[in-house]
Chain A
């Protein structure tokens, strides 16, 4: 009962916003090119989603045909870049973060450079990325990997550095070797931080993918909303924006589900 009421109050504000938006349009208070009605956006969304060509069995299966819609193709394109960039950026940041967190020497060597590079927004790398990688996916993936790199790195370093020393004392008392200490104590103890870093990194990757698609590639959700602007298709712009929002929400929910599943031992997640 309580859960119901909670869910009901959760849709109240969005519904009110939608109603207000619809009101603006129906009353003709705003130009439809500036802000199309919710209905028009929905119609465009559907058109953007469904396959452009009629189903033709000679071209392959029905399922395959279902995925030929522009929106689906754009989503796949964007997701591919996010995942590739995240895998590269996170994949490099994780081992470096572990080493920097574990070894004071490594920390002393790398931290100054990291601190200088970290505040540079990935977007500032756009000119260089095009110069280095040309056009297409490579510069986009490069930018995304930079966006994902630093959150994963910083959180991994903190995670390893803040491992409670009592666990290490217990490990030594039980006779654990340095390697065992690292793999069985430091690594698992740092995972809550690493997961937080991964979640933030994924969020950054998602922001950067949209920007990167506006410069170097010719598909993807970011590309599509910029293209729609050229034609003043504001309904398509908004449909694209909502797709980006929902996709981001979906990814974040997935990440958070995954981490609460893997970290079910963690005290902070008791209520989850």
Chain B
């Protein structure tokens, strides 16, 4: 089934969790083919399994059944070919900015001079050069997320997995980093899987937005976003899509709320 352009292929993936003695179907029958270089946003309310799917692709928590392949290779464990950016930055606090970015290369066994050069160019790319000797605790959230992105870019991984990376940032910093991510993506031609619960973020960034349902997580809508970049969030076309996705999301949010109320009634 896989054609040459497919980079990430998710086929018939189920994920079942055990939670408080009950089986939770986090993902059910997910099929997703992501071509090389595509920017895909996974969109849905909390509990829809979008992060679960991302973690399965990352190899942190494997699918209960079904297969996920990258370039035709089944995923069995996490690896530097699929760099991940976390919402909570997850920078190593005992390492300076520079050391955080260099860490992946050191693990790879890259030569010192090459590491130095690579780190310097990445820090320049993300406007971090002046902060290279700082520790994460001295940086703002936006700065920290820049470092986390640089750390993943250092791996030269063809795939970037991003788990609500800008969720904790204020609106301006968020837009700023979104633009920067688009610039990097255009320049480096990565395949990106980006989890978000913000409709606007998904429409602003993605080539394709995949809307997921609340438990069990299935694909509700797979939408190609054919808007010209840079996208104008105030344009009628943008807002028409926003409205459409808003309806879909609200349905799932309602199911989510009902499930929670039911859960509360049982308790």
Contact = CB atoms under 8 A, between A and B. Distances in A.
Give chain B's interface secondary structure class. Answer: loop
A174 B104 contact: yes
Given A176-B107, A264-B135, A166 B90 contact: yes
A167 B155 contact: no
Contact of B94 (A173, A175, A191): A191
B83 interface: yes
Contacts of B82: 173
A172 B90 contact: no
B60 interface: yes
Nearest to B96: A265
10 contacts: A169-B78, A170-B92, A172-B60, A172-B78, A173-B79, A174-B83, A174-B107, A177-B107, A265-B94, A266-B137
Given A174-B80, A175-B79, A169 B90 contact: yes
Interface string A260-272: 0000111100100
A177 B106 CA distance: 12
B94 A189 contact: yes
Contacts of A172: 60, 77-78
A188 interface: yes
B103 interface: yes
Interface string A150-170: 000000000000000011011
Contacts of A267: 93, 137
Given A174-B151, A265-B95, A265-B135, 17 more contacts: A166-B90, A167-B92, A170-B90, A172-B78, A173-B58, A173-B60, A173-B78, A173-B83, A174-B80, A174-B155, A175-B104, A177-B107, A185-B92, A191-B94, A265-B93, A265-B137, A266-B137
Nearest to B104: A174
Nearest to A266: B93
A270 B134 CA distance: 13
A180 interface: yes
B250 to A, nearest CB: 31
Contact of A180 (B77, B78, B107, B155): B107
B88 interface: yes
B93 A175 contact: no
- Majority secondary structure, A binding face: helix
Given A173-B80, A175-B79, A265-B137, A188 B60 contact: no
Contacts of B151: 174
Interface of B: 58, 60, 77-80, 82-84, 86, 88, 90, 92-96, 103-104, 107-108, 135-137, 151, 155
A183 to B, nearest CB: 11
A184 interface: yes
Contacts, number: 62
Residue among B86, B94, B135 having the largest count of chain A Cβ atoms under 10 Å? B94
Nearest to B84: A173
Contacts of B155: 174-175
A90 B111 CA distance: 37
A184 B136 CA distance: 16
A175 B137 CA distance: 25
Nearest to A191: B94
Interface string A172-201: 111111001000110011010000000000
B146 to A, nearest CB: 16
Contacts of B90: 166-167, 169-170
Contact of A175 (B58, B80, B88, B92): B80
Interface in A218-266: 264-266
Contacts of B83: 173-174
Nearest to A189: B94
B92 A188 contact: yes
Nearest to B148: A170
Contacts of A180: 107
Contacts of A170: 84, 86, 90, 92
A188 B94 contact: yes
A268 to B, nearest CB: 10
